[in-house]
Structure 1
Amino acid sequence: MAMYNFGAGVLWGTPTFDATGAAIANPTPLMLAVTQEVSIDIQGDIKELYGSNQFPVAVGRGKMKITGKAKYGQFNGSVLNSLFFGQTVTSSLYSIVNDVTGATIPTTPFAITPSIPGSGSFAQDLGVRDAVGNPMTRVSATPSTGQYSVNTTTGVYTFASADTGKLVFINYGYTGTSTVAKTSVVQNIQMGQAPTFRADFFNQLGGNGLALTLFACVSNKLALQTKIDDFLIPELDFSAFADQSGNVLKWGSAQ
């Protein structure tokens, strides 16, 4: 009976070592959810022995390599850190406000304090635009027309008295507390260090499945690509190698 598979399948990554080489005591399997496509390529070098005739008299296989690629639709910070960066991550919020509503500059003291989401804290200024989209110029204090100053501790924006009544759009970064959000500051670690993970792939149609496990993988590419009328589809590329027991891969087929 013939076996057919269909669709993109499902890929899991289970972190085994962080970027410093420390083993993960209780690794959490992470699904690359809403899978768009997966490719796993297994290839080897072929060495051919020739004599005086046209065709080789023997063929041997030399070095081999396994590379993979996954595109998935459900964005998750744990996947980014555990499978690509492998550094310290905290349960806290770091985000950015891209202001599309705007606020009107009031009279004395000509200041606007943005309402930060979730009672968060101001982190950084990302500029102010006027009503037609032109950037205003930041100054240290006493702004004149078309200028602004900002208190980087309190997040208070101050404008010129001559700009009273004008509409402005204030963009900024902020931090906050959260039990679900993830934040990480990526450090400049030594070359050669990278997190290691096990990759598990499954694809099926009508109960006929193909299961494949790559025991040790390292990611060499994380791509975050956006389009004006489409979803963000992260792409994770990786290479597989032998684990500490010498195992490279395990596969199982329904037939």
Structure 2
Amino acid sequence: MTWSGVLLVTAVVWAVSLIRSVRLRALVYSLPLPMTLALVSSGHRVEGAQVVGVLGLNLFFVTVAFTHQRLRWPILLADGAGIVVYVALSAGLLAVDIPFGVALTGTLVLWLAALLALRRRAPARPAPVDARPVADARRDGLPALLKLMVIFVGAVLTTLLGAVLRGMVVTFPYSGVLVAVEARRQLVEFSRHFARNSLALVGFLTAYHYLQDVSSTVALGAGWAAFAVVVAALHLPLRLGRPVRAVDPDVRADGVRESP
């Protein structure tokens, strides 16, 4: 990608660093902005390998979370392990020709299996609670300008690395390398939310694949529309399913009903 890609990655990571909600962080990171720029600047086609590459994005975060939180590796070393795993997966995917239908079916099956497994494990193994307050967990001690410079340098390095991956440049975790550092104390929860949102990225790539021979502009428009529809389908039921507490004027804030 070009300098515009570097600036885009910097903007995404900076935005994520300012968001308090882990769910919203994962949603912002899920936006197919780097994918769009990679497709526009590289001219690569979307085939089966790129769809499986979405699983590679999830595998990247799982690797970073496992090595950092379970094995107690420093976050930068854990980040490096995640990159190695993604690059190795990419090399394997580029070595074989995967029909798009097979890749799409396999990805959807694995996505559903992963979601069911996460849902089953969630009550039994809740995410560990950091003893530090949320505000302290998000503070890294860097002044805002210095932090922006660090993010910018990291964006340059990840962009240069992603450029050597040929077709897998489309799904390379450009901003993910830096987001993992930013969300290092909430990696498990972040990874779960991102895994759920991955279906929207699959929708984006699927729409692009079937319309890329018509026009890249049409394909991108359809891809973003598919992404929006899937995101809405994933998140609206959660919001609509939340219990709404009726406001009773005779009930005080502590739940005790006042006598008339």
Bucket of the pairwise TM-score, normalised by the shorter protein: under 0.3
TM-score, scaled to structure 1:
0.24
TM-score by length of 2: 0.24
More strand by share: 1
The structure richer in helix per residue is 2
Question: Larger radius of gyration, structure 1 or 2?
Answer: 1
